[in-house]
Amino acid sequence: MKTLTTEEVLRKIQEVQDRYNLETEIFTKVCEAVKPFQGKVVNKRMCTAIEKILPEYTVSWYYIAGMQNVRIWGNGIAFEKRLSIFIAYDGEGSQSFKFTAEGNNHSFIKSNACYSYNSERSQKLEQLKSKVSVWVDRWNAAINEIQSIQTAMGNDCYPLSSIFDVRG
């Protein structure tokens, strides 16, 4: 276990907020691109429409087990951290795209709700930033106390050293 600095934690929070904001921006553009396909058959033309609105990214159509997804990466987004957006259809035997559908869990918006919540998540993190300094101080004090206890036990205090092992 390691101690932390307030600056380190705030930097990591900012990285997450930046990612949330980027995903929100991209998802908003994807929504603009696919909305005109409401009620039409789901196909790769949707990917082409997204590519046109996001020329600075790599956009690929991914089909597996009956589910179509669009994957987006590049321009600062590593392939391993790519966005994967589910292209929802009505699920009632047809392949009609459902951008929004009341009471239908297969709608595009509901199926990709994680991107819709990013703005709220970022705002929540912003509110929590003011508490980070206090949390870091408390965390570091707890780490120091745990290390003090472990030092007092010594290395030859089996089984206590394994019982009091904070690594799990």
Q: What is the pLDDT of residues 65-106, one digit of tens each?
A: 777 899 999 999 999 999 999 987 766 666 788 887 666 556
What is the total count of domains within the chain? 2
Could you tell me if 25 and 97 lie in one domain? Answer: yes
Helix (H) or strand (E) holding 85: strand 83-87
Q: Is the residue at 141 inside a domain?
A: yes
Distance CA 152, CA 115 (A): 48
**108 vs 137 pLDDT, higher one:** 137
Could you tell me if 101 and 122 lie in one domain? Answer: yes
Could you tell me if 29 and 94 lie in one domain? Answer: yes
Q: Is the residue at 57 inside a domain?
A: yes
Could you tell me if 68 and 144 lie in one domain? Answer: no
Q: Is the residue at 49 inside a domain?
A: yes
Residue range(s) defining the domain that contains residue 139: 128-163
pLDDT tier at 60, thresholds 50, 70, 90: very high
Over residues 126-155, the mean pLDDT reads: 92
Residue 4: phi, psi to the nearest 5? Answer: -125, 165
pLDDT tier at 32, thresholds 50, 70, 90: very high
pLDDT tier at 38, thresholds 50, 70, 90: confident
Distance CA 7, CA 77 (A): 24
**pLDDT for residue 107:** 83
Q: Is the residue at 24 inside a domain?
A: yes
Could you tell me if 134 and 74 lie in one domain? Answer: no
Could you tell me if 119 and 155 lie in one domain? Answer: no
Average pLDDT, the chain: 88
Q: Is the residue at 1 inside a domain?
A: no
Could you tell me if 103 and 150 lie in one domain? Answer: no
Could you tell me if 59 and 136 lie in one domain? Answer: no
| Packing angle of the helix pair 118-128, 6-34 (nearest 10 deg) | 160
Pure H helices in 4-157: 6-34, 45-53, 108-111, 113-116, 118-128, 132-153
Give me the amino acid identity at 10.
L
How far, in whole angstroms, is CA 71 from its chain's centroid? 14
**155 vs 81 pLDDT, higher one:** 81
Residue 94: phi, psi to the nearest 5? Answer: -105, 175
Note if the pTM is more than 0.75: yes
Over residues 31-59, the mean pLDDT reads: 93
